[in-house]
Structure 1
Amino acid sequence: MKFLHLISIIISSIFLLNPAFGQTDQWPKRTIKFVVGFGPGGANDIVARIVAEGVSKQLGQPVIVENKPGAGSVLGADFVAKSPSDGYTFFVSAGGIITNPMIKKSMPYKEGDLVPVALLAVSPSIIVVPPDSTIKNLRDLIARAKDAKGIQFSTAGTGSTPHFVAEMLKVNAGGKYDIIPYKSGSEAKVAVLSNQVDATSESSAVTIPQIQGGKLRAIASTWNKRIEALPNVPTTKEEGYPQILIGHWAGLFAPKGTPNEILDKMNKAVEAALKSSEVQKRLVPQGIEPTPGSRASFVNFLNDERNRLAPIVQRANMRDD
């Protein structure tokens, strides 16, 4: 009897120490939170809200989006990294989850504190210029960059996707690029709209309205295939520069220690949502490409991105202290 009593105490202790233990079959039982590390209206926020609705239908529970902007998405990532690993708090990341540790002097959390769950979507970056610019295409931009004056290229800050585009242009096409960091992609885009700079690169999700309205001219997209919503805009690969490849991608991460059963269920829910016609009809017209896949394929994607971008960070000496 004493032995059975001891076993009972041990089992009870396991449940008390790990509330998720033994409860994965019932997950989810309440509202799930998707934390976005940027303010409302950006590419990641758009993706998060559309996917959250789709996942909610798959899981039968509300999925809400909470914005926690700051420090290039580090604040939001840190919040989730320190959240309970019970499957009710997830982080919707951008590429900064890979590049922030490369360029920042210190981080409030370790990379292993967040576990990859699913790649959600990619919003290709589009190189844009003012509509009255003499730059008509990528070849014109590169030729201008090789003139004595060079190109003024606005970005959303050190280590942002536009910054990487400018560095990729510099390394792979040559020329002089005066890279001007702004506080956000919106400000960098306004600098082009107001003719303060020659060009920038921003996600298709936030530039398509201005492009279609004639307020910006798109000269190339930086992904591996043309954007369905902009079929006449060539890719950098088509223009002869396959090394200029980057997108504004969104991925889902969970706190370390979240049970694998929950991670698998969430991955399957995301995959089903991304394949649904309702979600695709809302993402694709905005130039956002749904990217359903397994947890393993997302890990491979992250490794490829890390290996590809790390040399650029080192070569450009990107630092954001």
Structure 2
Amino acid sequence: MNAISRRRFIGSAAAASAIPLIGTSAHAQTDWPTKPIKIIAGYPAGGQTDLFARTYGEYIRAETGQNVTVENKAGASGSVAAVEAKRAAPDGYTLMFTISTTMIMNRVLIKDIAYDAEKDFILVSIMPAGSLPFVASEKTGAKTLDEFVAYAKKAEKVNIGTYGAGSYAHMAVAEMNKQYGLKMEAVHYRGEAPMWTDLAGGFIDGAHGSYSAALSVLQSGRGHAVAVSRKRMSTLPHVPSFKEQGATSRIFQLTGFQCCAAPAGTPADVIQKLSKLLVAGGKTEKVLKVMKSFGVDDTAMTFEETQRLYKEEAPVWLEAVTSLGLAPS
């Protein structure tokens, strides 16, 4: 079943990337925008998704002169927002800001999912969400990945915090166990705050999560970042990536992302206008300031770059989350 799902995904993702061009003349132009735009944010107010939606939305308002509102529809890993967004008219006036989990992993993690990310949406732009630090508890004495692995091999039991079953952090723990012959146990939390509190208290040996949530632990010295996913971060320039330290699995190089998506059938020229607005907005001082607060270095991708990345990495994400053997909930 897993192999079939992966083949189906690759084929349908390729088809989805062509949807904006189907039935649209090269000379046809949509007069957009001529009325207010609504952004549905898939996660609660104050988080990265919400702040990206509001900051990019503010830029779109300033550039187009049209009002942009953000509605938070949190729940079920972005599924609540996705179901509402897919029902909207495909005219560019309802957009969704969400994350890679909503667009990729939910099809494995959620039973009887009520939307099809491949058929119901067009990815307008991916905004990389930044590398995630793997933080060792102070009690381990580890300052590098090799030192942490050595600790984990000797310790009787090693618990690693993740921000949820099926999350990237969960995949990373499984991959570390596989590559280094470890038996670390993933401890799943509902959100990052309690996870970092437990790490600071020495109740877990390590944790994998976002830079912004881990910052207080790192500043206090209760935890030390021993590796980061994908590539070095400007906010943690001294911490090498997993790949630099010999962990070469593609899991450690995946791009977790925020994204802007539009209902399938949205005109191609509107998609391109949106993409250009988001790319330009990603270079503004306001957006860059928000990005820096989350340890994000990469700006919004063009439509073409977005399609390429999605096709390349989505099958890897799906294989990784499927291999965890989680029963859909």
The question of a shared fold, defined as TM-score above 0.5 by the shorter chain, is answered with yes
> How far did residue 132 of structure 1 move?
4.4
Q: Is the 8 A contact 1:124 1:222 kept in 2?
A: yes
Residue number in structure 2 paired with 1:101: 107
User: CA 1:87–1:176 in 2, change beyond 3 Å: closer, same or farther?
Assistant: same
Q: Is the 8 A contact 2:89 2:263 kept in 1?
A: yes
Q: Is the 8 A contact 2:86 2:121 kept in 1?
A: yes
Of 28, 36, 55, 1:50 maps to: 55
Alignment of 1:1-321 (within 5 A): 25-96=30-101, 97-111=103-117, 112-147=119-154, 149-223=156-230, 225-243=231-249, 244-284=252-292, 286-321=294-329
> How far did residue 247 of structure 1 move?
4.3
Question: Could you tell me how far apart the structure 2 residues matched to 1:71 and 1:153 are?
Answer: 24
The answer for unaligned runs of 5 or more in structure 2 is 1-27
Q: Which amino acid aligns with 1:54?
A: Y
> How far did residue 209 of structure 1 move?
4.5
User: CA 1:32–1:207 in 2, change beyond 3 Å: closer, same or farther?
Assistant: farther
> How far did residue 215 of structure 1 move?
4.6
Q: Is the 8 A contact 2:124 2:260 kept in 1?
A: yes
Q: What do residues 249-297 of structure 1 show as CA deviations (whole Å, max 9, x unaligned)? A: 1111111121112111100100111123442244235411233332122
User: CA 1:288–1:294 in 2, change beyond 3 Å: closer, same or farther?
Assistant: same
User: CA 1:186–1:83 in 2, change beyond 3 Å: closer, same or farther?
Assistant: farther
Residue number in structure 1 paired with 2:19: none
User: CA 1:183–1:27 in 2, change beyond 3 Å: closer, same or farther?
Assistant: same
Q: What do residues 214-271 of structure 1 show as CA deviations (whole Å, max 9, x unaligned)? A: 4532111102x21111111111111111322234311111111211121111001001
Q: Which amino acid aligns with 1:294?
A: T
Partner SS, residue 256 of structure 2: strand
Q: Is the 8 A contact 1:39 1:68 kept in 2?
A: yes
Partner SS, residue 226 of structure 1: coil
The answer for unaligned runs of 5 or more in structure 1 is 1-22
Question: Could you tell me how far apart the structure 1 residues matched to 2:163 and 2:280 are?
Answer: 33
Question: Could you tell me how far apart the structure 2 residues matched to 1:286 and 1:105 are?
Answer: 31
Question: Could you tell me how far apart the structure 1 residues matched to 2:128 and 2:253 are?
Answer: 16
RMSD: 2.2
Question: Could you tell me how far apart the structure 2 residues matched to 1:247 and 1:39 are?
Answer: 22
Partner SS, residue 289 of structure 1: coil
Residue number in structure 2 paired with 1:10: none
User: CA 1:25–1:209 in 2, change beyond 3 Å: closer, same or farther?
Assistant: farther
User: CA 1:219–1:279 in 2, change beyond 3 Å: closer, same or farther?
Assistant: same
User: CA 1:195–1:64 in 2, change beyond 3 Å: closer, same or farther?
Assistant: farther
TM-score (norm 1): 0.84
Q: Which amino acid aligns with 2:112?
A: S
Question: Could you tell me how far apart the structure 2 residues matched to 1:44 and 1:172 are?
Answer: 32
Partner SS, residue 171 of structure 1: helix
Question: Could you tell me how far apart the structure 1 residues matched to 2:62 and 2:127 are?
Answer: 16
Q: Is the 8 A contact 2:163 2:188 kept in 1?
A: yes
User: CA 1:45–1:168 in 2, change beyond 3 Å: closer, same or farther?
Assistant: farther
Q: Is the 8 A contact 1:165 1:246 kept in 2?
A: no
Question: Could you tell me how far apart the structure 1 residues matched to 2:220 and 2:155 are?
Answer: 32
Partner SS, residue 123 of structure 1: coil
> How far did residue 121 of structure 1 move?
3.0
User: CA 1:52–1:193 in 2, change beyond 3 Å: closer, same or farther?
Assistant: farther
Question: Could you tell me how far apart the structure 2 residues matched to 1:91 and 1:72 are?
Answer: 13
Q: Is the 8 A contact 1:31 1:61 kept in 2?
A: yes
Question: Could you tell me how far apart the structure 2 residues matched to 1:202 and 1:40 are?
Answer: 19
The percentage of aligned residue pairs carrying the same residue is 26
Q: Is the 8 A contact 1:85 1:258 kept in 2?
A: yes
Greater Cα radius of gyration, structure 1 or 2:
1
> How far did residue 64 of structure 1 move?
3.0
